[in-house]
Amino acid sequence: MLTMEKSSSIEHPILDLIKNRRSVRAFSSEPITADKINSLFEATRWAPSSSNEQPWVYLYATHDQELWHKMFECLNESNRIWVKDAPLLILSLARKTFTHYGSANAHAMYDLGGANSFLSLQAVEMGLQVRQMAGFSHIKAIENLKIPDIYEIGVFIGVGYPGDPTNLPEKLKQRELAPRERFLQQEFVMNKTF
């Protein structure tokens, strides 16, 4: 039973990449080079997946492209507010069925989440940060981006170099600067049966 007792401190040693990852809302408009964009997606190639299906598919656009604006239009207003300066938008999708067997892949979204985590950590390594977004219109995304039914939509992802949080609207600025909270290990890790 979760008591919701949370802490913002790191209690045991972890990788610097994990320590330094943070879903920022304040992005600088500084463009991201094509090399770095390639490295983000390269990182996803090496993520594990059920039967090595690698069901993830990514669509991306840089701020100077019309496609960026088509993607931006799919997002909820609450996300548009902060993501408007992000130099890179990504949409992550998963193939719903196995390529070889044709049967449903029950782990496709699980695998996509893993690949997105690899992408997020690669971003940190390069001085970037990402913020994933489930707040978008599925209908608009299917329409604007002509997404075939064989894909399940995961999340949109804003990527960029961290910007100045004091430029965010007041409410978001407060959330951005608030300490991050996490459950304590003993609230979700067990060395016994249920």
Ligand X SMILES: Cc1cc2nc3c(=O)[nH]c(=O)nc-3n(C[C@H](O)[C@H](O)[C@H](O)COP(=O)(O)O)c2cc1C
Taking the least distance from each CB to ligand X, the nearer of 76 and 97 is: 76
Residues at the interface with ligand X (CB under 6 A): 22-23, 79, 131-135, 155, 180
CB 143 within 8 A of CB 73: no
13: which residues sit within 8 A by CB, 6+ positions away?
A: none
Question: What is the smallest separation between the CB atom of 123 and ligand X, expressed in angstroms?
Answer: 12
Question: Least distance from C-beta 194 to ligand X, angstroms?
Answer: 26
DSSP summary character for residue 132: E
Number of residue whose CB is nearest ligand X: 135
* Closer Cβ to ligand X, 23 or 39, answer by number: 23
In the chain, helix, strand, coil percent, each to 5? 40, 20, 40
In the bound state with ligand X, the residue whose beta carbon lies nearer, of 22 and 96, is 22
**Smallest distance from ligand X to CB 182, Å:** 8
Distances (CA, A) of 56 to 25, 144, 167, 177: 25, 20, 34, 33
